[in-house]
Amino acid sequence: MSKIPEKEIAQFGAHVTTNSTMIFISVTLFTFIITLNAELLRNNLLLSIQIILSIILFIHSNLARSRGIVSDSSLLNNFAKSCFKIGLVLFVNSMGILILELISKQLSLIFFISYLLIWGIYLLTIRRALRLKGNFGSELISFLIYLFLGLLVAFGVY
């Protein structure tokens, strides 16, 4: 087993902290909805599924990151990144659907479109800043999940 540089250990720690925070936020949100308006989860299966899956994906991202610290495995690292990205998209979709259900369609559309625009700017900026080249495979998958399970729901397509 190779020696992992201190910088990478610190990055793993930061990722684990971020994942733990997202688990806490997701579980808290789910608990509040169950407590205050369980009917919302019964009536909106898409919302329920996305919140539950985001929790599961954040947990497994955290487990893979924690294990990655000791094993230095790129497979675990990629698994953790994928789980986190998809979990985050599902969580953001859940927030947009909650805005749609509890506040208004217009505000939900503003949320989804704003998030999409800022996300696009972020992706372009981070790629340029880090001089990243290559495919946008994971970003495309995240975008499609976001589009079909969030934005189109807000537009009332399904």
**What confidence score (pLDDT) does residue 1 get?**
47
Nearest by Cα to 72 from 125, 5, 136? 5
pTM (predicted TM-score):
0.81
CB 99 within 8 A of CB 152: no
Give mean pLDDT, residues 3-11. Answer: 66
**Looking at residues 135-150, what average pLDDT do you find?**
76
Domain boundaries, the chain: 6-154
Q: At 14, is the pLDDT very low, low, confident or very high (cuts 50, 70, 90)?
A: confident
Percent of the chain whose predicted confidence (pLDDT) is above 90: 28
Q: What percent of the chain has pLDDT over 70?
A: 83
